[in-house]
Structure 1
Amino acid sequence: MSELPGRPGFRTVLPLVLVALLTLLAPSCRLPGDETDNAVPPPVTATEVAPERTDFSGRQPGVVNITSMRGLESTRAAGTGIVLDASGFVLTNSHVIQGSTGIEGTDTDTDRTYRARVIGYDTSQDIAVIRLTGASGLPAARFAPVSTVGIGDPVTAVGNAGGDGGEPSVVTGHVTALGQSVTARDDSDGSVERLAGMIEVSAPIKPGDSGGPLLNSAGRVIGVNTAASTALPERSPDGRERPRGYAIPADRALEIAAQIRRGEASATVHIGETAMLGVMVRDNGTEPGARVVEIVPGSPAQRAGIPVDAAIVTFGGQGVDSPSTLTGLMLRRHPGDVVRIEWAMPGGGIAAADVRLAKGPPQ
């Protein structure tokens, strides 16, 4: 994993790391806004299919190389997406687009690059849907449910390994376990999330493969590549190293994607643009609240006078006991909302202000 230590928005897993590439590929930029969506086609569903072949080791249509520009950090992140339908809806991991101020997606079947915008995301399940602007006629991926998957089945993982773009990389392996759990930690604020029900495979998934398809022997998508082990590789009975990769089952990913495309927000699903306060926060030790460690210049937080080392204790009338609580409350808001915020001053005392939230990058 290539990373910039301490950068906001970077997530790791214990003892795994999420397979997103975070590196100084090029200066960041902000992409112009996209036009209004046309009618939304019906969502894709996983269907029962019989394997067509047992030696599949290539790739099927529907793979997108994603570049996420992170203007607040002057970095770029590379990942992968899966085409849901011809009109350009693309499934990926939420950590691929986290912190993005602009997104581009290159359909690897047509080699055409599009600007993209975020339709919605679920950070608790690490799923997001973006839409490629102006796309039509794209070859879409085909899906199969996890009920068709068994331990020992051959699999192929496809993705933008290394963030190099171009023709997607292809690695193979076998299903080694089902229903596995992964603990994910956000290095920016120390918050921890747990992803359950994962497909474990022996395919050597690499940075940049996040959001890419895990294919069965028929070339159907059975999972979304999400994590890889950072521990020493296990060894098989013959003494060879056996890598471990993890994928979100296609059924669950498609269910969340359908909810996002219907525009149904929930406690975990955020729809549309993301509101921004403009603070980087961490745990406040033994005290309640989210401690402010950085203020974005020109942000609502700066205009409200929230200082570094203050601890945000309420947001919109609700208590804040941790950074993750603040993030959850923020995700229920949208740009332009006015909220009452209270914070404990570094030297003692409580201050408060009504703050109008700005437009910011996905959480």
Structure 2
Amino acid sequence: MTTTPLHRPVRRATATFLAGGMLTAVLGLSVPVSASAATLVDWPTGRGSGGWGGSGAGSGGYAGSTATSAVDSDPATDAESTGVALIDTVLTDGEAAGTGIVLTSDGEVLTNYHVVEGSTLIRVTIASTGKAYTASVVGVDQAADVALLQLKDASGLTVAKIDDDTLKAGDDVTAVGNAGGTGTLTAADGSVTSLAASITTQSEGTVAGERLTKMIETDADVVAGDSGGPLLDDEGEVVGIDTAASSGQEIDGYAVPIQTALAVVTQIRSGDETTAVRIGAAAFLGVQVATSAVSDSGYTYGSGGSSAGAAIAGVVDGDAADDAGLAAGDTITRVGSTTVTDAAGLTKALSTMNPGDRVQVTWTTADGDRQSATVTLDASPVN
């Protein structure tokens, strides 16, 4: 059994991605060696291959979970929809959809980082009112898969109720989210099976795999599009953020504990950027990358190629890479003092940098010529 991330675009573009299908390898969350693997569940909607190189803002989306068993869920009630938001994002190479949790009446919304990763535009619709807002990313913790958004010109919003009790194994829970990216909330009932699940997300495109620990594991049928949505207890209070699910005969859901997420929110609100928490925009090179070899997980991406490095599928007009002369077909092999061996390596190299930083980029052209140039990194469009 494999697991997958809960949000993201439904990939319709290239053969290298499965369009809403079950991945052949762990996409996102994995459990200890003896346990079954899990993957983050996303809902892609027309995503192309690769992602646009940025500091943690790359992006291949995650594929949705397609368990062979029937999904057990119902339309969310008014009470279950209170304080829940539907999130739609525009990416440089497609679109995506997910879910969010309203934290403040003036428009702070909590979601997973992978829901907004690589976005150029974020639109948030409040489920209970149908009113839509544009949103910006205030800050993120990629390792914790947490992001805080701010809705533009929002006021008077009804917020979600946060749990103040102690969650226990066996407690009844309900996973609420934008299942399938349809724009309609569903609710899947289940119970807590573990409070200490460890999972490793499978790398995909420029998105490197990551390990999440101390996750809430449930037997609720969470599916693609649910990422960022609330996991509610039997009192209707938020105990976690739906983040990943397994693919197979039986679905297991995984959620970031709400107190873990709120600790990140507190850090973001403080404005104190750390190695874990980023405030504001990320550094942005402006290249669409596709891996040219089989990834560590054994899954093949991109159009192939023999040179080690990050293969360029395209560049953003007017951004840093374009100004430096990089073009589709080139392969980036070094950023600053860091050797780049694949797409994920490029993202990692840029993750330590900030907008405005100057760095030397070295690449091999499609004709085999070695070139380098010093570029000034731009700010990512949204995050």
**Hey, what's the Cα distance between the residues in 1 that align with 2:320 and 2:173?**
48
**Counterpart of 2:313 in structure 1: which amino acid?**
E
Where structure 1 has 5 or more consecutive residues not aligned to the other structure, the ranges are 26-55, 234-242
Q: Does 1:300 align with 2:308?
A: no
Which residue among 265, 283, 291 is the counterpart of 1:282?
A: 291
Instruction: Give the superposition deviation at 1:122.
Output: 1.8
Contact 1:304-1:355 within 8 A present in 2 as well: yes
Number of the residue aligned with 1:258: 266
Distance 1:190 1:337, change over 3 A: closer
Contact 2:27-2:209 within 8 A present in 1 as well: no
Q: Deviations over 1:185-206 (max 9, x none)?
A: 2321362211111111111112
**Hey, what's the Cα distance between the residues in 2 that align with 1:57 and 1:64?**
13
Q: Deviations over 1:52-100 (max 9, x none)?
A: xxxx995162111111112x21x32111100111110100011111221
Q: Does 1:185 align with 2:202?
A: yes
Contact 2:308-2:341 within 8 A present in 1 as well: yes
**Counterpart of 1:269 in structure 2: which amino acid?**
V
**Hey, what's the Cα distance between the residues in 2 that align with 1:190 and 1:329?**
13
- RMSD, matched Cα: 3.1
Alignment of 1:51-62 (within 5 A): 59=80, 61-62=82-83
Q: Does 1:18 align with 2:40?
A: yes
**Counterpart of 2:167 in structure 1: which amino acid?**
V
Instruction: Give the superposition deviation at 1:346.
Output: 6.2
Instruction: Give the superposition deviation at 1:328.
Output: 3.2
Q: Does 1:79 align with 2:98?
A: yes
Number of the residue aligned with 1:156: 174
Contact 2:205-2:343 within 8 A present in 1 as well: no
Which residue among 90, 97, 105 is the counterpart of 1:69?
A: 90
Alignment of 1:199-218 (within 5 A): 199-218=216-235
Contact 1:98-1:361 within 8 A present in 2 as well: no
Contact 2:310-2:333 within 8 A present in 1 as well: no
Distance 1:356 1:289, change over 3 A: farther
**Fraction of identical pairs, as percent:** 37
**Hey, what's the Cα distance between the residues in 1 that align with 2:175 and 2:163?**
15
**Hey, what's the Cα distance between the residues in 2 that align with 1:289 and 1:266?**
31
What secondary structure does 1:110 align onto?
A: coil
Question: Could you say which structure has the larger radius of gyration?
Answer: 1
**Hey, what's the Cα distance between the residues in 2 that align with 1:283 and 1:194?**
24
Instruction: Give the superposition deviation at 1:331.
Output: 3.1
Give TM-score scaled by structure 1 length: 0.78
Bigger CA drift: 316-325 or 269-278?
Answer: 316-325
Give TM-score scaled by structure 2 length: 0.74
Bigger CA drift: 200-209 or 350-359?
Answer: 350-359
Number of the residue aligned with 1:139: 158
**Hey, what's the Cα distance between the residues in 2 that align with 1:18 and 1:155?**
19
**Hey, what's the Cα distance between the residues in 2 that align with 1:289 and 1:176?**
43
The count of aligned residue pairs is 319
Number of the residue aligned with 2:108: 89
Contact 1:281-1:290 within 8 A present in 2 as well: no
**Counterpart of 1:282 in structure 2: which amino acid?**
T
Bigger CA drift: 320-329 or 207-216?
Answer: 320-329
Where structure 2 has 5 or more consecutive residues not aligned to the other structure, the ranges are 1-8, 21-25, 31-36, 48-76, 296-305
Greater relative contact order, per chain length (Cα 8 Å cut-off, separation 6+) = 2
Instruction: Give the superposition deviation at 1:321.
Output: 5.1
Instruction: Give the superposition deviation at 1:223.
Output: 0.4
